[in-house]
Structure 1
Amino acid sequence: MAGFRDLIGKGHTPTLFMAFLYFDMSFMVWTMLGPLSTEIAEALALGGHIMTAGEKATLLSLPILSGALLRILLGFGVDKLGAKLTALLAQAVVITSLLTAYLQGNSITYETLLLVALGLGFAGASFAVALPQAGQWYPAKLQGVVLGIAGAGNIGVVIDFLFAPKIAQYYGWESVFGVGAVMAIIVFIAYAFLAKNAPESVYKANPKKLKDYLKLLRDKDTWWFNLFYAVSFGGFVGFAGYMKVYLMNTYQTDMSAFGSDFLNESNVKVVAGYFGALCIFAGAVLRPVGGAIADKLGGIKSLYIFFGIVTLLAMLNATVTLPFGVAIVVLFLIMANLGMANGAVFQLVPQRFGKDIGIMTGIIGAAGGLGGTALIKTLGWSKGAFDGYAAGFTIFAIVVLVAISGISLVKTRWRTTWGVQAGGRI
């Protein structure tokens, strides 16, 4: 089993660290609207705009959607311009978006927020830069743990849920965007000095033409990976983005009582942030563990395990009204297994598409973002149509079952074709 100690003396540690830090900061600002959704809605209401359930779902899903589509664009950038320049250009757009929200503050309109949300999509698209930049420095047998470390930057959303509501409580929601902008500028400068593209002796860039990208899209394995990542990462980022809305709509009374008794916290929005952070933390921190497990057991077997557990738990949440404490445990385990599944998927991707890892990370990452967008809209629709989330969780469980069926259809072919010479266990 490839472990963290196997990385010593290999690759380029500063680049691996900056890939993690860049993705961490990017993921933090990408999902910033989620933990601030209640505060932003209240600010808009004071200005005369009452957000409907559909508008709230649209605002929360727009960064996920734009991030998904922009991953393809940044995947092109990695192949054409190199990972470092692509990252710096994307970060500049993100910083501009954060400053826009901060400077306009409570005078901001819903339409301007939508533009900010689009700009934050460049942060979500950082996935298509950070992972290939880290992976290009390391051999195939270490891809699971390396890409797991870089991808664990999605722990940034945990930071959002822990601190954003508290900062907003004392200084206003717009101050969170100001803090985010300062942090993004600091990371921008550190990244410019420390991160490096892999030299040709380690990784030889192979820029593609448009027809080459179209060829990849015609490869059926591309679409299988799209499905698996739409479920794993889409599930993770979708639940993360909608977590506060879900908790506030379903367990507001329970959180209020819990906060008064145990946390000495009267602001239920902050308490919701704490519990959301707890659940999201599991998925974020366990991503490299999932990659390491996949290195040992093989990505296919690992996905069977992770997806199977998610299916059972999602159906449990859909069919039974769970007490608050049990619901938190279930959400924690769902996020944990989705996070590990993310690592398992990207243990397989570089083994199948090693020569095209830049654009493939963009394409598959885009599918993950689209999956997250669909999940947020599905949960919003479920709440609006049935005043509950049972339908949303049921639909998600069915989609995960479809992914499990897909694994069964491809596993033999994968193991007897490209898997034979992949360099790692599949």
Structure 2
Amino acid sequence: MSDTAVTPELKAGQTKNLALATLAFAISFWAWNMIAPLGVRYTEQLGLTSGEKSLLVAIPVLVGSLGRILAGALTDKFGGRLMFTVLLLATAPFVLLVAFAGNQDSYGLLLLFGFFLGIGGTTFAVGIPFVNAWFTADRRGFATGVFGAGMGGTALSSFFTPRFVNWFGYGVTHLIIAIALVVVAFIVWSLMQDSPAWSPNPDPFVPKLAAALKLPITWQMSFLYAVAFGGFVAFSTYLPTYLKDVYEFDLTQAGTRTAGFAIAAVICRPIGGVLSDKVGPRVVAAVAFAGAAVMAVVVALQPAPEVPAGLTFVVMAAFLGLGTGGVFAWVAAAAPKERVGSVSGIVGAAGGLGGFFPPLVMGATYNEEDHSYTIGLALLCVTAIGALLFTLFGIKKKAPVARDVRP
């Protein structure tokens, strides 16, 4: 099908299915991020060290990252409707088990169930090929950008989870999210449809994965997404801790400000996708990485609260949001259509892993005497500069943006 030959059936289902995919992504990301907003609570409750706190916050990211490889490949085979439903239902029990672990004051159980809570983070690799199949190549930047705004589930979690705990109690808060996951799974199964332009890829998992790994675009975008999305995830999960350590905000205050950070990134992600459709994802990604490098330096200077510090983090979030939108617009345009799920899974896993290690680094390099994270932020600056140079000079212009890829 050509880019301009949009069938009535395809056009009629685009808005509904994009909205459903974004909803599923948002609620699963809320669940995925249930531990981080309560990190301060767990630290005080269990007497955690900085390293233990960082590991607890980062552990759900691990499964949410690596699991995307499998989730993306299975989406190529079974479609987004089934995969969204299964993953939402699979996440719900672990939300409740995390609450059980917290009530038992067990750090080991929190790590164990937090590990499996990462299942919620795998839905990203389901949504990218799902929405990709609903839109023609000239609108895929827009579609993947809007879907990617579902990462605002982390903002919802940062803002509402601490408040829910204050309003309803710790256990009831987790029960509410578990029920929401089940309800959205039912809605998805009842109303969502796979695109008529999509067809199952029956190739076995290992050959399918190997084929995706052979594509240069897979490795190129994996590195860029590890920096862009990894930076977003790292800030979203660790920012409550950072704000408490540096600015002495309490749990609710830190959660509110972290939500603002996430919202800024969420708003800018679809903007990054739309701009990629117009000026190309290379330009968008380059601007994003350059901006992130500069803002890492500004954050390290510890601007005063409220307005200077708040504006600093919002601008940082905006650049990271543009970067995530730009990179996945690049993936959607350049990956072969039968490999979009597999490539998305690998690139998404790289992005998640990019968010797994920075909290550990931040915890390891924290200067408790000076309340400073300067070393960790300097490493972020260097990494962003490396991504900028690779974007401009490391990817051949002919590798790129294939606007004639058919859905």
TM-score, normalised relative to structure 1: 0.88
CA offset at residue 221 of structure 1? 2.5
Aligned with 2:350 (options 324, 345, 367): 367
Once residues 261 and 26 of structure 2 are traced to their aligned partners in structure 1, the CA distance between those partners, rounded to angstroms, is: 17
Aligned CA distance change for structure 1 residues 115 and 418 (closer, same or farther; 3 Å):
same
Once residues 388 and 351 of structure 1 are traced to their aligned partners in structure 2, the CA distance between those partners, rounded to angstroms, is: 41
TM-score, normalised relative to structure 2: 0.92
Name the structure 1 match of 2:127.
130
* 1:289 matches 2:271: yes
* 1:250 matches 2:234: no
* RMSD between superposed Cα atoms in Å: 2.1
Partner amino acid, structure 1, of 2:16 = P
Following TM superposition, where does structure 1 have runs of at least 4 consecutive aligned residues deviating by more than 3 angstroms?
7-11, 102-105, 384-387
8 Å Cα contact 1:63/1:120 also seen in 2:
yes
Partner amino acid, structure 2, of 1:32 = M
CA offset at residue 385 of structure 1? 7.7
Aligned ranges for residues 28-67 of structure 1 at < 5 Å? 28-43=30-45, 45=46, 50-67=47-64
8 Å Cα contact 2:138/2:403 also seen in 1:
no
* 1:221 matches 2:217: yes
Name the structure 2 match of 1:338.
320
Name the structure 2 match of 1:183.
180
Once residues 105 and 385 of structure 1 are traced to their aligned partners in structure 2, the CA distance between those partners, rounded to angstroms, is: 26
Aligned with 2:295 (options 307, 313, 337): 313
Name the structure 2 match of 1:400.
384
8 Å Cα contact 2:99/2:174 also seen in 1:
yes
Aligned with 1:357 (options 333, 337, 340): 340
Aligned ranges for residues 144-223 of structure 1 at < 5 Å? 144-199=141-196, 202-209=197-204, 210-223=206-219
8 Å Cα contact 2:285/2:327 also seen in 1:
yes
Aligned CA distance change for structure 1 residues 188 and 297 (closer, same or farther; 3 Å):
same
Name the structure 1 match of 2:19.
17
Name the structure 1 match of 2:106.
109
Once residues 171 and 385 of structure 2 are traced to their aligned partners in structure 1, the CA distance between those partners, rounded to angstroms, is: 41
8 Å Cα contact 1:217/1:223 also seen in 2:
yes
8 Å Cα contact 1:39/1:168 also seen in 2:
no
Once residues 164 and 59 of structure 2 are traced to their aligned partners in structure 1, the CA distance between those partners, rounded to angstroms, is: 24
| Count, aligned residues | 394
Once residues 104 and 144 of structure 1 are traced to their aligned partners in structure 2, the CA distance between those partners, rounded to angstroms, is: 41
Structure 2 unaligned spans of 5+? none
Partner amino acid, structure 2, of 1:286 = C
8 Å Cα contact 1:34/1:242 also seen in 2:
yes
CA offset at residue 294 of structure 1? 1.1
Aligned CA distance change for structure 1 residues 105 and 321 (closer, same or farther; 3 Å):
closer
Name the structure 2 match of 1:232.
228
Partner amino acid, structure 2, of 1:181 = A
CA offset at residue 226 of structure 1? 0.6
Aligned with 1:381 (options 346, 364, 372): 364
Q: Which moved more, 1:237-246 or 1:284-293?
A: 284-293
